[in-house]
Structure 1
Amino acid sequence: MFFGHALLLATALCLLLSGCQEAKSSPPIHPVVKTMRISLDMGAANRSYPGVIVARHETQESFRVGGRIEKRSVDVGDHVREGQILATLDEKDLRLSMESAQAERNAAVSNKDQAITEERRYATLLSKNVVSQSEYDLKHLSAEEARARLEKADRSLKLATSQLGYARLVSSNDGVVTKVSAEAGQVVSQGQSVVTVARKGALEVLVDIPERNIQDIKEKPAETSLWSNSDVRYRATLREISPSADPATRTYAVRYALPDADSSVRLGMTATLHLSEPASLQTARIPASAMFNQGKGPGIWSVDPQSGELKFRSVTVDRYSERDAFVHGQLANGDIIVTSGVQKLDEGMRVRLADAPQGDVR
């Protein structure tokens, strides 16, 4: 009986020892990670601002007299020529004013003729000593007053005639209608904008730039791309900076001329202004997913190409793009860094590259 128990105990001990031996001899597990080789570059630091394509010259056409709009002849997008009628006012009141001025002029003409006739008659009588000098002087003054009233009536008639002509709003230059601010039947005042016409010719991109960056834009090379075709870029030249910031957004309206714009650049298109300047440090462009922060500042995992061991490298972020970050710091050309799953790794851990053979630690 005792011999049987001893045999069982010995067998169990052997199995236990063999299991421990197998555990000790099993190879270590190295996680598979995605990596990339970095390249340091003295690239340009880019800043982008959204904007819109506008005409360099826009005219807000308005009537020179007030009244009720009888007809509007154009709409947004219409091409117009210089002198083309854009809208007309109801002419009834203006025509009555002109007819009244004409009647006043006719009366002034009759009054002047009568006054001149009286002056000449009294001049004849004065030469024969029939009337006194003072009586003649009164007739002379009446004639001069009649002449002045006729001159005033002439000018009033010209003004009334001009105002009747102002009932037609005409385009001051060739262009395209970009905005309509009044409709038929609406009563508008003198100088109130009715139609906005963008003059044909130079195009510009209008952007809003924050006040903290406004001092740095004058010497920076600029390019513009369209949202509809971001692969094509057009040279942009700074033309105008607003003298004051918008009180709500604290941004400055800035206009860049587009001297190389072609037919694909149209008014109202969404555009992006790209400003660039030479970088002072060599930077590496890496995926944002390669960065992490464990309380020591931003950093990345660098992989030793021989042993696969991870080392923490501290970096400084220069700027961000849509998905990537431009960094500099403890980096060298050709370094291999981990690009995903960085939060699950530790210092000194050995890993395998995703594209390395199964037996290769790298």
Structure 2
Amino acid sequence: MKRIYLPLTIFLIASAAVVLTSCKSNAKAADVIDEAIAVKVSPVTTTQYAPVLKYSGSMASTAEARLSFKIGGIISKIYVKEGDHITKGQLLATLDLTEINAQVQQAAQGVEKVQRDVTRVKNLYNDTVATLEQVQNANTQLSVAEESLRIARFNQQYAQIRATENGTILKKLMNEGELANPGTPVFQFNGTAGNDWVIRFGVSDKDWAVLKKGEKASVEIDAYPNKTFTGIITEIAQGADVSSGTYEIEVKVLPGTARFAAGLFSTVKLQPTGEQTVTLVPVEALTEATDKTGYVYTVNADGKTVTKNKVTIAFLENNKAAIWSGLDSAHEVITEGVGYLTDRSFVKVIK
């Protein structure tokens, strides 16, 4: 009879399968090692940094104003043109006074009529024909009529535009014969009596948070290429501009002996007193970088795989990149071989 040893056959087959599986795993591991990308790493450092903020804007005077008529009417005469230097109290423009003078005359005649009514009612009251209430009502009507006359005369006075101080007409916005509505600007006026020259510009929310009133600034003006002026932050907006989303900053510029004019293009450099902590890495570590963001690779604890970290760039200086955030726990970053990496790459670190 033929004997069959089944358990021994099964054992031999299983052993062969284990040997084959082990050989495949070793071969795959060898392939991974062979495919690993050679990289070099560099240490990161942290430092305290006060950023230099650079913005631009146009020179303006704190006495700049838009002059207008208080009441509406037809512009009768304009006495100045753009660029004219004017003195305080100088007549700049007038309205046609035909309608306004008529209103004053009408109010004056109304006062005269009520005065006669008051006199008549008082006489009747003395003759016990009129009552005390009628006398009081007549006096009230007289007060109302006198106030109406005062309003008409006030409007007549402001049917003209006069200079509020010494200055320059920057722009003439309307012409003779046009209908000027109440409060519609006719002139853009820049007062030059003092030296209150300022530059206004919008900053981002991050820059707004570190700026403080009273901090100094350096100002460069294209009209004076070889000179730097001193500025002081005088105003910081407490709300964002609806259209731009920025926060307006006002810097007062000290002219010294220089002559300023509205509209001069200026560059302002600000250095906040408050310092912030930034992480410094070699600039070679950055990849896919834009103006504010980029990516930096770090080696994981196993020494073979990598992590792709999105970082926020504060600034670039020489061969260093300052990072606001994204590398809080990193001690080393990959600096060589970065261009060949993805977040699934295997690496071998070369010392």
TM-score > 0.5 by shorter chain: yes
**Which residue in the other structure is 1:168 paired with?**
160
Q: 1:149 to 1:45 in 2, by over 3 A?
A: closer
C-alpha contact 1:176 1:197 (8 A) present in aligned 2: yes
Match of 2:59 in 1: 53
CA distance in 2, matches of 1:76, 1:246: 30
Q: CA deviation at 1:85?
A: 1.7
Instruction: Establish whether residue 209 from structure 1 lines up as the match of residue 203 from structure 2.
Output: yes
> Does residue 223 of the first structure (1) align with residue 221 of the second (2)?
no
Q: Which residue of 2 aligns with 1:240?
A: 235
Deviation for aligned residue 1:150: 2.6
* 8 Å contact from structure 1 (residues 318, 327) kept in 2: no
1:251 corresponds to: 246
- The Cα shift of 1:45 comes to 5.6
Q: What secondary structure, in the 3-state scheme, does the structure 1 residue paired with 2:93 have?
A: strand
Q: Which residue matches 2:171?
A: 179
Residue 43 to residue 295, structure 1, CA distance change in 2 (3 Å): closer
Write the deviation string for residues 147-178 of structure 1: whole angstroms up to 9, x where unpaired: 33333222222221221112112222332223
1:238-294 CA-to-partner distances (Å, cap 9, x unmatched) read 01122222344332221101134433332210000012469999x9xxxxxxx9899
Give the direction of change, closer, same or farther, for the CA distance of 1:43–1:229 in structure 2 (3 Å limit): farther
Residue of structure 2 equivalent to 1:275: 270
Pair 1:197-2:203 in alignment:
no
The two structures have a TM-score, normalised by structure 1, of: 0.58
- 1:234 shift after superposition: 0.7
Q: CA deviation at 1:90?
A: 1.3
Letter matched to residue 214 of structure 1: W
**Poorly superposed stretches of 4+, deviation over 4 Å:** 42-45, 277-281, 291-297, 317-320
Larger Rg: 1
The structure-2 alpha-carbon separation of the partners of 1:230 and 1:215, relative to structure 1 and needing over 3 Å to count, comes to farther
Equivalent residue number for residue 71 of structure 2 = 65
Asked whether 1:148 is paired with 2:140, we answer yes
For the residue of structure 2 that corresponds to 1:208, the secondary structure is strand
Q: CA deviation at 1:102?
A: 1.7
The 8 Å contact of residues 240 and 248 in structure 2, kept in 1 or not, is answered as: yes
Shift of 1:221: 4.1
Task: Assess if the C-alpha contact under 8 Å between 1:85 and 1:171 holds in 2.
Answer: yes
1:99 deviates by 1.1
Q: CA deviation at 1:70?
A: 1.5
Cα 1:266–1:139, aligned 2, differ >3 Å: closer, same or farther? Answer: same
Superposed CA RMSD in Å reads 3.5
Kept in 2, the 8 Å contact 1:318–1:326? The answer is no
- Tell me, in whole angstroms, the C-alpha distance in 2 between the residues paired with 1:293 and 1:119: 102
Measure how far apart 1:43 and its partner are. 11
Deviation of 1:236 after TM superposition, in Å, equals 0.8
> Residues 43 and 110 of structure 1: is their aligned pair in 2 closer, same or farther, counting only changes over 3 Å?
closer
SS of corresponding position for 1:138: coil
SS for the counterpart of 1:173 is coil
Kept after mapping to 2: 8 A contact 1:85/1:168: yes
Residues 277 and 107 of structure 1, relative CA distance in 2, 3 Å threshold: closer
1:318 is displaced (CA, Å) by 7.6
Secondary structure of the 2:130 match is: helix
- Tell me, in whole angstroms, the C-alpha distance in 2 between the residues paired with 1:235 and 1:96: 55
1:96 maps to 102
Unaligned runs of 5+ in 2: 1-47, 290-312, 322-351
Q: How far is 1:64 from its partner? A: 1.6
Number of residue pairs the alignment of both structures matches: 244
Q: Which residue of 2 aligns with 1:17?
A: none
C-alpha contact 2:58 2:200 (8 A) present in aligned 1: yes
Q: Secondary structure at the match of 2:212?
A: coil
Mark the runs of 5 or more structure 1 residues left unpaired by the alignment. 1-41, 123-135, 284-290, 298-316, 330-362
Q: Is the Cα contact below 8 Å between 2:67 and 2:189 reproduced in 1?
A: yes
Other structure's SS at 1:74 match = coil
Q: Are the structure 2 counterparts of residues 112 and 268 from structure 1 closer, same or farther at C-alpha, using a change threshold of 3 Å?
A: same
Is this contact kept in 2: 1:78–1:176, CA < 8 A?
Answer: yes
